[in-house]
Amino acid sequence: MRLLPQREAARAPAAEADELSAPFADRLAALTEERRSQVCLGLDPDPAGLPSDSVPDADGEAPAERAATAVVRRCRALIERAGPACVAVKPQLACFERLGAPGWRALEEVCAAAREAGLLVVADGKRGDVPVTARAYGQALVGETPTPWGPVSGLGADAFTANPLFGEDAVDALVEAARDAGAGVFLLVRTSNPGAAAIQDSALEGRPLHERLAELVAERASLLSGESGLSGMGAVVGATAPQHLGRLRELMPDSVFLVPGVGAQGGRPEDLGPALAPGRPASLLVAAARGIAGADDPGEAAERLRDTLWRLAA
């Protein structure tokens, strides 16, 4: 039986829950093999770029409500067209949060649509703070918050991105939240933006900072490991600096790499071979947003990327 996303498993009958629920890395590995895909559909909706007539006029409806409805429709359409060639979606939280409360409701609807399509959800918020706040972020993204009136569920994502620069105590609070939820964490290690080199490649005790960040990941890999041999203690590693991929894989042999920067930012899928852990195709999860969403045929674009990446894993 196919392993389901964590929140879908949580709603399964009790007799099936143990079989369906598994650590994030195992669920990703099973879905990668099933779909022969390592593609993560990035969802970065820009309400300003959507047609004004994409949502019918409604008397008294606030602009935020109409914008949120249009965002949901746009994301649902992308999931329907490109989702079959993908294993996950990566909603950029800021693109939803800027719409206020309607934007958060839109995010929940989009995550539900992704789960209905059998896709894992990676919440891309790059959260990080002192431990007490980091725990709250974990509750918001993958866990639940205890209250005198009962627990309050968070977003229910399968994994999330996190900023490690607050240090080990903050990272550990996020990892604990992920472990309790069976979720994954992707720490920022070497990002895809042009300005990353000035900070992340700078020397720290004689070696690049990104190597020390990679060690933070590797030191915690066993906490989120699964039977697949992979760990949900993952790393965000950009495709725009492929010269670092081989070394980072050496430092993080068991971690899943979430790789942005392919397509619009200039990264090439053909250069990602060194990021793969030998014999484990799910060790590479390539995030593509504009390259799929901006294509004339998003489904074809996703299929093309899937096929290119799968050849690397063959």
Active site residues: 126
Q: In the numeric block, which tokens belong to residue 89?
A: 């979606």
Is residue 163 helix, strand or coil? coil
Q: How far, in Å, CA of 253 to CA of 25, rounded?
A: 14
Task: Name 11's Cβ contacts closer than 8 Å, sequence gap at least 6.
Answer: none
Q: In the numeric block, which tokens belong to residue 237?
A: 């590693």
Phi, psi torsion values for 154, nearest 5 degrees: -90, -155
Phi, psi torsion values for 275, nearest 5 degrees: -80, -15
Q: In the numeric block, which tokens belong to residue 174?
A: 């996020």
Q: In the numeric block, which tokens belong to residue 23?
A: 């650590």
Q: In the numeric block, which tokens belong to residue 246?
A: 């081989």
Q: Kindly compute the dihedral angle of the four CA atoms of residues 12, 42, 211, 30, in this order, to the nearest 10 degrees.
A: 30
Q: How far, in Å, CA of 19 to CA of 182, rounded?
A: 13
DSSP-derived secondary structure letter, 189: E
